[in-house]
Structure 1
Amino acid sequence: MNRTDDVDARSVAVIGMACRLPGADGPDELWDLLRDGVDATSETPPDRYDVNALHSERPGPGMIGSRRGGYLGGMADFDAEFFEMSPTEALELDPQQRLLLMTAWDALEDAGRRPDELAGTRTGVFVGNARGDYLEIRFRQGLQTVTAAQLNNYRSLLPARLSYFLDLRGPSVVLDTACSSSLAAVHSAVQSLRAGESPLAIVAGVNLTLRPDEGVVMTQAGALAADGRSKFADAGADGHTPGDAVGVVVLKRLTDALADGDPIRAVIEGSAIGNDGRTSGSLLNPSRTGQVEVLRWAYEDAGVSPADVDYVEAHGSGSPVLDALEITALGEVLGEDRPSDRPLLVGSVKTNIGHAEAAGGIAGLIKTVLCLEHGQVPASLHLGTPTPEVPWGELPVLVPEKLHDLPDHGRPYRAGISGQGSSALNAHVVIRQADPRPHAATPAPDGKPYLLALSARTPEALVALRRSWAAYLGPEGPGTAHPLRDICYSAATRRQHHEHRLAVVGASHEEMAAAFDAAGEAPRRRSVPKKLAEAADRYRENGTVDWQALAGEPGRFVPLPRYPWQTKRYWPDDEREERTGDLADWVLREHARTSYDDDSTLVDVGIDSLAKLRIIVELSEQTGREVDPEELGGLRTVGALRGWIRAMEAHTP
C-alpha cells in the first residue's frame, strides 16, 4: 500500500452538516452571512437576562461589561410532536437537547442517512458541551421547585437523548474541555471510526447562553469585549463576545462513504489534541509550546506537510494575548518551507457570530468545509489595524479583510481548524477538499415518468413539505441542477418515510413542481405505467415499496429539501395552556405524547412514571386534595385515568 492509499484508509469523510447559529439556520445561510461580511451579534434579548440591570461601562463586582452577544432566534422553539414528547415534557427539557435533536436530524438528512436504518447500530454520538444553564436556572428558583424531571437535564443526557430517540448503540459521550470541547469531540469520533468501534459518528457542539454568570466572570477577568465584538488579530482587540451555537457533522470512514455512494463534503485527514502541561507557567495562561506541539502532531497524523495548508480557521476569540500567541504558533509551524508568495490565510468565524465556547470549534469546522466547497475564504470582521504583537513582516500569514479566492495549486485545497480551551486542552483538525463528484448519470429519455415519494409526521408538516418541494423543483429552484431520476431515487431511498404521505408521478421537473404547487396530487397523464401507479397507491396507503426494484440501476444521492419542523415555543416564563373544561382532558393534553382513545394504555401514550409524578403535583394544585400515588400507579388505560380524575374532581369540595 502506498502512502496515499494509507492516508485514505485512515481518513474520515464529512458526509453531512447542519447548524443553528446566530443569523444562520443552516450551512447555506451561514455561507451567505460569511460571504456578505455580516456581523450577526445583537443586544442581549430579555428572555436571557436583564442586561440593563447588569451592564456597566465601568463594571464592578456583579456587573457585566458588554450588552451584546451572538444569540439564536427561536432558541425555545421545538417540534415536540415529531419527537414524541408531551407539551409538559418539552417545556421541562433543556433547549440544548431540543435543538440538538432537530439539528442532528437535519444533518442526517444532509448525509442521506435514514435514521430508521441506523437503529440498533453502533453509531456513536460525541457532543462538546460545557453549559447546563437551564438546569441551573431551575435550581436557583428554590429547592421547592425542583422535581424529578430535572434528571433529564444533566449534561450527560445530551448525547444520550439522541442515542435513545434513534436507538443508537455506540459510544454516547459528552466532552467538556471548555472552548475546545467540540473539536475534541471530532477527534474522539475520528479515533472511534478508525478503530472500527463505530461505523458512523454524529458529532455536535451545543452552547446556549441563558445566564449572565459567565459574562460577569469574564468581565472581571478582562476577557469580555466592551463593544460586544470579537476583533481577531486587531490592535484594539479587548476580548470576545459570547455566542450561541448548535452544530452537527456526520462522519464516516472515507472508504465506506465512497463504497456507499454517500455525499462527501470534505475529508478529515488527521487530528490531534494535547494539554499545555506546565509549559505556560500558569494553568489559565495559554502556551505557545503546547499549541506548536499539537499542530505538529496533527499534521504528522494527517501525513500532510504544514506548508501545503491553504487556510486555518483559528480559535481567534479576540483576546489580545491569545490571538498574537496563536498567530505566531501558526506562523512557526505552517510557515516553515512555505513560498513567500503563498501566505497562510487565517480567519475566525467568531468575528461574525461571537464565541460559541464549547461549540465554537464545530462552528469553525462547518465554516471551513464551506470555504473548501466554494474555494473562497470570507473576511474576518472588525480588523482595522493589525495587532503590533505579531511580527507580520516575518510570518507568511494573512488575515483576509475581504472575500479571498483560494489559490489553485492543481491539488485539493487543505485547511486546519484550531481550538483552545481554558482547560489548557488544544485541538487541531486537518481537512481537505472533497474530490469532485462523479458525473451525473446520463439523463433518461424525455418523457419517462418517475415516482416522487414524500412524507411527514403530521398533515401540517406534509403541506409545508409540499410547498418547499414546489420551490425546489420550480424554474429557479436548486432541484433543476439535478436529474429527475436522481431526485426521485434520493427521496425514496435516502429519506425516512413517515405516516402522512404523498406520491407524485411526473416526467419533468416542471410537471412535478406544478403538481405540488397545485394540489399535491399526481398530475393527470395519458399513460402512467402500471408499475408506477401501483407503487404510488401502495405508498399512499402506508404500504411497503421495493424502491431498489422500482428504480432499477441505483441513482446518485443529491441534496433535497429538509424536513419542515412544526415548532412551538416552550419556555418557562410563558403561560402554559390555561386549563379549560374537563380536568381529565387537560391533564391528557399536557402529558400524552401521542394521539389516544380510552382503550390506549398509558404506557403507549407516553405517560410513564415521571409523567405520573408531574400529574400528582398538578392534581393536588387543581383540586386541593392529597393524591394517592398508589391509586394512580394502578391505572392502566386512558379511560381509567379519565374516570379516576373525574371521580376525584366530583368529590372535591
Structure 2
Amino acid sequence: MKSSTAEVEERAVAVIGTACRLPGADDPDQLWEVLRAGLDATSDTPADRYDVDALYSPHATPGTVGARRAGYVRGMADFDAEFFGISAAEATELDPQQRLLLMATWEALEDAGQLPRDLAGTRTGVYVGAARSDFLEEQYRRGLTAVTPAAFHNYRSLLAARVSHEFDLRGPSVVYDTACSSSLTAVHSAVLSLRAGETRLAIVAGVNLLLRPDEGVLMTQAGSLSSDGRVKFGSADADGFAPSDAVGVVVLKPLRQAIADGDRVRAVIAGSALGNDGQTSDSVLTPSLDGQRDVLRWAYEDAGICPADVDFVEAHGAGSPTLDPLELTALGEVLGEGRPAERPCLVGSVKSNIGHAEAAGGIAGLIKTVLALEHGQVPPSLNVARLNPTVAWDRLPLALATRLQDLPTAGRPAIAGVSGQGSSALNAHVVVRQGETLTSRHADPRNPGGDEEVCLLTLSARSIPALQDLVRSYVDYLSPGGRGAEFALGDICFSAATRREHHPFRVAVMAGSHEAMVRALTDPGRIADPEVASLPLAAAAEQYRRGHDVRWESVFGPDHLYVPLPTYPWQTRRYWPGERTAEVPAAGSDLATTVLREHARSTSADYSDGSLLADMGIDSLARVRIILRLASDHGYEVEAEELAGLRTVGDFRNWLHVLEAQAA
C-alpha cells in the first residue's frame, strides 16, 4: 500500500552534507566536473599498492591479476595527524581507511554546517559500509613476530567507532558488510534510525581502499575481472568487474528538522528498502530477478512514489555481461508499469567513471545522484560503443545516459533511485528527490562589487600555515568567478561565524562588498577599510581575534541563510609503515619548548607537534605546575579545564600562542 503524502513528508530525510575521496576527485565539486565532462578517472596501479608488473598476465595464469589498472584515490597515505591530535607513530600504524574517513567526515559536517562541538555528547549515529581490511591483512603478512598491539586499532569494526570517539558521538556506531551493497545498507539503517527518533543526525559513509591484489587475483581466476580495468555498464563489450578506491560521507537529518534549522537541503531521501534473494536464485552468489524486482517495489512503496514517475536511476551498474541484463530487466519491468513510452527512465553508473568501489559503491552513487539532482542534469555513463544485445531495449522503457542531458521537467521535483547489489544476495534501493536548497531559493546574488552593509568575516585554523591557506581559499571564493560571488556577503559572513568551528589562529576582517573583502584579506596590515574600522562591529572583530567567544546573534540579524563555504585546508603528510616520516620540530615556540622540558617526564629529541601530552607525562600534577609557572612568570590567568582539554604538543603550542597574542 502506497504511503500518504503527509506520511511521506513526515518520514522524509534530508541530505544536508556530502564529502568524498574518489578517483580523480577530492571533493564533490571535483566529482561533478569529472562526471559532466565524461572523464575516465581510472589509472594504472601505482607502485605503493603492489607490483602490478610482477603479477599481471593476460592469460589468467594462477596467481596473476588480469588487469593493470583500476580506480585509485590520490594521496591515499596523506593525513593531517596533528589536526586530530594523533602522533606520527600512531598515524603510521593506523589504517588509511580510518584516516581518510576522519577527514572526509569533518568535511561533510562542514558542508552540512554542523558544528562538531555541538554534536559532542549527542546521540548522533555513525553508519559505515566497509568490506576490506587490507591494511590489517598486510600487517599480519609481515609475520606474526611483527604483530603489535597497534593492530587492534585496525579491525574493520572500529571504522565507525573511530569517528564516534573522535567527535564524541553517543548514538549507534555500526559497520555494515553486505559486500557491494554495504554503504546503501548503511543509508537504509540510518534512515530507519532517524525516522524512529533514535537519532537526530546521522553520518553515513562507505570506505574502500585497494591495498593488495588478492581480490583481483580471485576475480581473474573466476573470469569476472575487466581486462582493461574499466566498467562498461550496459555495453556489448562489458567484460566484468573493475575495482576502485572510494571514501564517501553523507550527513542526514529529518527533513522537517533540517528546514527548521535553516540547513541546506541538498536532496531528500523519500524511501528505501533492503531484501535478500532467498531461494529465488540457484545459489547464494547468483543474483535473482525476483529479488531485485521485490526490493524496487518495496522502496517505492516506502517512498509513496509511483515507479513510473522516476526520472533517473543510478544503477548498481557493475559492467557484468550477465548481471547487467538482469538489473536492467528488473528496472524496466518495475519502472515501466504505466510509464508513457515517450518518457523513458534514464539509467547510468558512476562505476564507468571511477571503477567499482565495492562496499563504498553505493555511497559514491548516492553522492553522484545528489549532484545530478542539484544541477538538474544526468551525466554520461561511459564505455558504451554498442548496447548489450541481450537486453530487450525495444520493450524496456529505459535509456542509457551516454551524453550529458537535462533532467525532464514535470512540474514536480525530479525523482531518482540508487541501487546496490551485494554478492551476499542483499539488494538495496534508495529513492531520492530534489531538495529545495534554501540558498538557491533565497540567497541574494547581488553584484559582488556593489555596496552592501558592512560585514564581519571570521576565519580560523589550528596552525598558521592552515590559516594562510584558508585565507587564500576565501580570496578565490569571493573573487569574480568564485563560488561565493553568487551569494550575499552577509550570508557568507553569517555562515563563517555560526556554521564553522573556531580554532586558535584567527583572522577577522570587515568590508561592505566582495571586492573590498578580498582587499582586506590580501593586505595583512589592514584590519578594515578606514571608513568601517570605527564601527561597533570592530569591537566584535577584536574580541574574536583575541580568542574570546562572541555572541553572534548580536552581530547578525535573523534573516541570514547558510551558504556553502570553503572547507578546512588540511596540512597533510604521508604516513606509511617502513617509511621515515619527516618530523616537524617541536621548537616552534621557545615558551612551549621550555615549559615542556621542565614539566614533562619524557621529552626525547624526536617528538613533534603530533606527540601526545599524556605520552610525555603531562598528567594532572604537571598541569597544576604549568599553571603556576605561567601565572608567576608571565602573568597568564589560566583555567585548569583549558589545559586539561589539550591533547598534543601542537595543541599546547597553539594555546600558548593565543595566550601570548592576548597579552601583547
TM over 0.5: yes
CA contact (8 A) 2:314 2:365 kept: yes
How many angstroms apart in 2 are the aligned matches of 1:524 and 1:377? 45
How many angstroms apart in 1 are the aligned matches of 2:97 and 2:452? 48
How many angstroms apart in 1 are the aligned matches of 2:215 and 2:43? 18
TM superposition shift of 1:576: 3.9
Q: Which residue is equivalent to 2:486?
A: 481
TM-score normalised by length of structure 2 = 0.88
CA contact (8 A) 1:548 1:554 kept: no
Q: Which residue is equivalent to 1:586?
A: 605
Query: Which piece of structure 1 moves more, 576-585 or 183-192?
Result: 576-585
Say if 1:570 and 1:509 are closer, same or farther in 2 by CA, change over 3 A.
Answer: same
Give, as a single letter, the amino acid of the residue that structure 2 aligns with 1:439: H
CA contact (8 A) 1:502 1:521 kept: no
CA contact (8 A) 2:585 2:608 kept: no
Q: Which residue is equivalent to 1:493?
A: 498
How many angstroms apart in 1 are the aligned matches of 2:622 and 2:308? 59
How many angstroms apart in 1 are the aligned matches of 2:405 and 2:497? 39
Matched, 1:408 2:409: yes
Q: Which residue is equivalent to 2:556?
A: 551
How many angstroms apart in 2 are the aligned matches of 1:526 and 1:587? 50
Give, as a single letter, the amino acid of the residue that structure 2 aligns with 1:205: G
Give, as a single letter, the amino acid of the residue that structure 1 aligns with 2:294: E
TM superposition shift of 1:228: 1.0
Say if 1:289 and 1:28 are closer, same or farther in 2 by CA, change over 3 A.
Answer: same
Say if 1:604 and 1:440 are closer, same or farther in 2 by CA, change over 3 A.
Answer: farther
How many angstroms apart in 2 are the aligned matches of 1:558 and 1:590? 33
TM-score normalised by length of structure 1 = 0.89
Structure 2 residues without counterparts, runs of 5 or longer: 587-596, 624-647, 650-664
Q: Which residue is equivalent to 1:312?
A: 313
TM superposition shift of 1:600: 3.4
Q: CA deviation digits over 1:292-325, x for unaligned, max 9? A: 0000000000000000000000000111111000
Give, as a single letter, the amino acid of the residue that structure 2 aligns with 1:315: H
Which residue of 452, 468, 493 corresponds with 1:463?
468
Give, as a single letter, the amino acid of the residue that structure 2 aligns with 1:132: S
Which residue of 562, 578, 599 corresponds with 2:567?
562
How many angstroms apart in 2 are the aligned matches of 1:77 and 1:550? 38
Q: CA deviation digits over 1:237-281, x for unaligned, max 9? A: 110210000000000000000000000000000000010001111
Matched, 1:439 2:462: no
How many angstroms apart in 1 are the aligned matches of 2:561 and 2:157? 38
Q: Which residue is equivalent to 2:538?
A: 533
Q: Which residue is equivalent to 2:88?
A: 87
How many angstroms apart in 2 are the aligned matches of 1:481 and 1:442? 5
How many angstroms apart in 2 are the aligned matches of 1:274 and 1:530? 62
Say if 1:181 and 1:580 are closer, same or farther in 2 by CA, change over 3 A.
Answer: closer
Give, as a single letter, the amino acid of the residue that structure 1 aligns with 2:123: R
Q: Which residue is equivalent to 1:182?
A: 183
Once the two structures are superposed, the pairs formed by residues 385-404 of structure 1 within 5 Å of their partners are 385-404=386-405
How many angstroms apart in 1 are the aligned matches of 2:473 and 2:608? 30
TM superposition shift of 1:585: 2.4
CA contact (8 A) 2:82 2:609 kept: no
Q: Which residue is equivalent to 2:517?
A: 512
How many angstroms apart in 2 are the aligned matches of 1:169 and 1:321? 44
CA contact (8 A) 2:131 2:359 kept: yes
TM superposition shift of 1:3: 2.9
How many angstroms apart in 2 are the aligned matches of 1:357 and 1:481? 37
* Alignment: residue pair count: 605
Matched, 1:108 2:109: yes
Say if 1:387 and 1:447 are closer, same or farther in 2 by CA, change over 3 A.
Answer: closer
Say if 1:225 and 1:520 are closer, same or farther in 2 by CA, change over 3 A.
Answer: farther
Once the two structures are superposed, the pairs formed by residues 595-606 of structure 1 within 5 Å of their partners are 600-601=618-619
Question: The residue matched to 1:585 in structure 2 has which SS?
Answer: coil
Say if 1:3 and 1:579 are closer, same or farther in 2 by CA, change over 3 A.
Answer: closer
Give, as a single letter, the amino acid of the residue that structure 2 aligns with 1:547: W
Give, as a single letter, the amino acid of the residue that structure 1 aligns with 2:336: G
TM superposition shift of 1:554: 4.1
Q: Which residue is equivalent to 2:146?
A: 145
Give, as a single letter, the amino acid of the residue that structure 2 aligns with 1:90: A
Q: Which residue is equivalent to 1:615?
A: none
Give, as a single letter, the amino acid of the residue that structure 2 aligns with 1:601: D
Say if 1:406 and 1:552 are closer, same or farther in 2 by CA, change over 3 A.
Answer: closer
Give, as a single letter, the amino acid of the residue that structure 1 aligns with 2:383: H
Q: Which residue is equivalent to 1:347?
A: 348
Q: Which residue is equivalent to 2:259?
A: 258
TM superposition shift of 1:573: 3.8
Q: Which residue is equivalent to 2:7?
A: 6
Q: Which residue is equivalent to 2:593?
A: none
CA contact (8 A) 2:574 2:581 kept: no
- Paired-residue identity, %: 61
TM superposition shift of 1:527: 3.9
Say if 1:485 and 1:579 are closer, same or farther in 2 by CA, change over 3 A.
Answer: closer
Question: The residue matched to 2:394 in structure 1 has which SS?
Answer: helix
Structure 1 residues without counterparts, runs of 5 or longer: 606-636, 639-653
CA contact (8 A) 2:264 2:437 kept: no
Query: Which piece of structure 1 moves more, 285-294 or 574-583?
Result: 574-583
Matched, 1:367 2:368: yes
Give, as a single letter, the amino acid of the residue that structure 2 aligns with 1:33: V
Once the two structures are superposed, the pairs formed by residues 593-632 of structure 1 within 5 Å of their partners are 593=612, 600-601=618-619
Q: Which residue is equivalent to 2:654?
A: none
Give, as a single letter, the amino acid of the residue that structure 1 aligns with 2:460: S
How many angstroms apart in 2 are the aligned matches of 1:205 and 1:325? 25
How many angstroms apart in 2 are the aligned matches of 1:595 and 1:478? 43
Question: The residue matched to 1:522 in structure 2 has which SS?
Answer: coil
CA contact (8 A) 1:88 1:591 kept: no
Question: The residue matched to 2:484 in structure 1 has which SS?
Answer: helix
Give, as a single letter, the amino acid of the residue that structure 2 aligns with 1:25: D
Matched, 1:451 2:469: no
How many angstroms apart in 1 are the aligned matches of 2:431 and 2:514? 39
How many angstroms apart in 2 are the aligned matches of 1:174 and 1:520? 50
TM superposition shift of 1:604: 9.2
Q: Alpha carbon RMSD of aligned pairs, Å?
A: 2.3
CA contact (8 A) 1:16 1:249 kept: yes
Matched, 1:71 2:76: no
CA contact (8 A) 2:520 2:529 kept: no
